[in-house]
């Protein structure tokens, strides 16, 4: 039997996600799959702010190198970790069905929603997007940086370093920790990250395997991600940018896309939404409206602040 090599990060969540995809590939293609664990820069620098070391692309770079130099045949990523542009020679081959895209509130002192958190509550997050939206929603909260894997973040909450943490519902669910969630925060309250809840399967462009892996694609999820990533690409977003976009399906095959970009303090937020059935055109159109509504000025300010 042919055996394929699947590149993955080594965290508990990454291994759970990659293991699930490996089993699906084995069933769909009639092959064996071995996991190839790759330690990324983002993993090695787990206690350093992503914004200061190059952004979420650091969870992807070494895995893409493993594909390009032949150490692995395909890879599985959390789609929200993918930068707008892939390494040349690689392609996104499949997007399986999206899990819960919402953010999750996990709290200590009995608060069951963001609205019910006490004034001054210490909320941990490693996401500029979440931090900005939380500051806009609840300026009375103390938003504190938090990195590490899911288990580490929950441990820091239990140790009393935080009153609440905000994570992704999908990650908690995939680890069997959905019962820890106090609130699955509606997108109307915290707009999700581009690609949140979706796994992306990457392979070398033009190879037969990339075409074969497409059998795992869930078309509505793939179309939604195409719209969100078109928004990301037009805004040239990265980890320093509090940026969000979420596409949800409407009747008849169309999508509604909501997008925003914010200042880090959440004082200024440029938002837009539109509907359509061409994902890439929809993503670009919503991005253009966000830019016209002040997003261009916000992005210029953020990049000036991030410049050395």
- Tell me the two tokens of residue 88: 């040349």
Region 3-96+198-217: CATH code? 3.40.190.10
- Show me where the domains of the chain are located: 3-96+198-217, 103-185, 231-302
At residue 1, the pLDDT reads 64
| Fold matches, 3-96+198-217 and 103-185 | yes
Rounded Cα distance between 12 and 17, Å, is 9
Rounded mean pLDDT for each run of 10 residues along the chain, 308 residues in total? 93 96 98 93 53 58 95 96 93 98 92 94 96 98 94 95 97 96 97 97 97 97 97 86 95 94 97 97 98 96 85
Look at the domain 103-185 and name its fold.
D-Maltodextrin-Binding Protein; domain 2 (3.40.190)
Rounded Cα distance between 64 and 45, Å, is 18
For 44-78, b/e burial (b = at least 16 CB within 10 A) is eeeeeebbeebbbbbbbebbbebbeeeebbbbbbb
At residue 221, the pLDDT reads 97
From the list 69, 73, 81, 297, the catalytic residue is 81
Contacts of 101 (CB under 8 A, 6+ apart): 169, 170, 187, 192, 196, 197, 198, 246
Give the number of other CB atoms < 10 A from CB of residue 127: 25
Region 231-302: CATH code? 3.30.160.40
Rounded Cα distance between 243 and 262, Å, is 7
At residue 231, the pLDDT reads 97
Residue with tokens 């963001």: 114
For the question of whether the overall pTM of this predicted structure is more than 0.85, the answer is: yes
Contact 191, 127 (CB under 8 A): no
3 state SS of 143: strand
Check if 278 is active-site: no
Q: What is the CA radius of gyration of the chain?
A: 19
Q: For the chain, how far is it from start to end, CA to CA, in angstroms? A: 53
């Amino acid at each position: 039997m042919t055996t394929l090599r699947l590149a993955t990060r080594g965290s508990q969540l990454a291994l759970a996600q990659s293991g699930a995809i490996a089993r699906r590939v084995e069933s769909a293609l009639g092959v064996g799959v071995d996991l190839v664990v790759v330690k990324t820069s983002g993993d090695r620098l787990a206690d350093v702010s992503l914004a200061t070391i190059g952004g979420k692309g650091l969870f992807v770079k070494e895995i893409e190198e493993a594909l390009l130099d032949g150490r692995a045949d395909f890879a599985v990523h959390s789609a929200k970790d993918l930068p707008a542009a892939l390494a040349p020679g690689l392609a996104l081959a499949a997007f399986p069905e999206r899990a819960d895209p919402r953010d999750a509130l996990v709290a200590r002192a009995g608060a069951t929603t963001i609205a019910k958190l006490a004034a001054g509550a210490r909320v941990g997050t490693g996401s500029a997007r979440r931090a900005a939206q939380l500051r806009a929603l609840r300026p009375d909260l103390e938003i504190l940086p938090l990195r590490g894997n899911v288990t580490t973040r929950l441990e820091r909450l239990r140790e009393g370093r935080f009153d609440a943490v905000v994570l992704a519902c999908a990650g908690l669910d995939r680890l069997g920790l959905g019962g820890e969630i106090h609130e699955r925060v509606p997108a109307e309250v915290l707009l999700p990250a581009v690609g949140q809840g979706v796994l992306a399967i990457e392979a070398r462009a033009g190879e037969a395997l990339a075409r074969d892996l497409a059998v795992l694609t869930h078309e509505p999820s793939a179309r939604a991600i195409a719209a969100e990533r078109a928004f990301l690409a037009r805004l040239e977003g990265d980890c320093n940018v509090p940026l969000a976009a979420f596409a949800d399906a409407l009747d008849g095959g169309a999508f509604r896309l909501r997008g925003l970009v914010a200042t880090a303090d959440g004082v200024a937020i440029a938002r837009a939404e539109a509907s359509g059935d061409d994902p890439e055109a929809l993503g670009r159109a919503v991005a253009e409206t966000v830019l016209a509504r002040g997003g261009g000025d916000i992005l210029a300010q953020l990049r000036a602040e991030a410049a050395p």
